[in-house]
Amino acid sequence: MKKEVLQFQELTNNAWKARDSVLYKGWMIRLSEGVTKRANSVLPLAYSGTDLEHDITAVEKLYNNNNLPLIFQIPDYYAPSNLKKTLLDKGFRMIDETIVMAMEIEQLNYEASMNSYDCLIEENVNETWFQSLYNLTKMDSTKLEGFRRIISRTSNQKITCSVLRDDLIIGIVLGLIDNEYIGIYDLNVHSSYRRKGVGESIMRKMLSYAQINKLKTMYLQVEAKNTPAISLYKKLNFREKYRYRYFVRKEE
């Protein structure tokens, strides 16, 4: 478990870079624009401190100084072992349980002809893709700008996949490549086309691209309550590696 958590957290940190990252007694402190918890949270994979409550208070001051709430992202492996209990005792609550899933690509054979929709792969992230993200998610302009900055910071190779139907982009996804790994981010489908095979077509196209380019592993993160998406990923042979949760103040 520890090995997989460390492996995939390294990949996701490289892909979804925070504006600033600092280490505090083994914890990774991630500070960004505040638009996603992933890039604005403490990742506690190691701990060298001796006074846990003091260190939680010290880290909270750092976030407050950056006008951000204190959030912990806690995977199945974390340190120290009493961190969860201490946070709960201090008035934190657990939200947004998320599953990290992955699959080995080499033995699979996903033909483009199996897709129900025509999917366009582009090896960049252009303005049309960002506008589609805005249209499909209905996020506000501040959050969209935050996403732009996060995506622009990564040094990973970027690819996008889009589905066009009747001059309307009805589905998109972002792929971020790190050596032989490709991470799937922001798979979004138009509300009128959900559960009609759009997401599956996009994923099959991405898998086909990964095979052609001799990538080894595809990984993604999905909220545990998103059962339709989890069913799709399992159908495509993704398997659960571990889970993580966010711990936030009860009033937030």
Q: Which has the higher per-residue pLDDT, 164 or 175?
A: 175
pLDDT of residue 166: 83
Neighbour-count burial of 113, counting CB atoms closer than 10 A to its CB (0-12 exposed, 13-18 middle, 19+ buried): exposed
CA distances from 116 to 112, 165, 166, 218 (A): 9, 12, 15, 21
Q: Report CA torsion sign: 95, 9, 176, 150.
A: positive
Q: 3-state class of 67 per DSSP?
A: coil
The two tokens of residue 92 are 């934190």
What are the residue boundaries of the structural domains of the chain, listed by start? 2-98+245-249, 106-215
Q: 3-state class of 113 per DSSP?
A: helix
The CATH superfamily holding the domain 106-215 is Gcn5-related N-acetyltransferase (GNAT) (3.40.630.30)
pLDDT tens track for 82-135: 999 999 999 999 999 999 999 999 766 655 445 678 899 999 999 999 999 999
Cα separation, 184 vs 242, in Å, equals 16
28 near 46, Cβ under 8 Å?
Answer: no
pLDDT of residue 251: 73
pLDDT tens track for 2-51: 999 999 999 999 999 999 999 999 999 999 988 899 999 999 999 999 99
Cα separation, 132 vs 139, in Å, equals 11
pTM equals 0.92
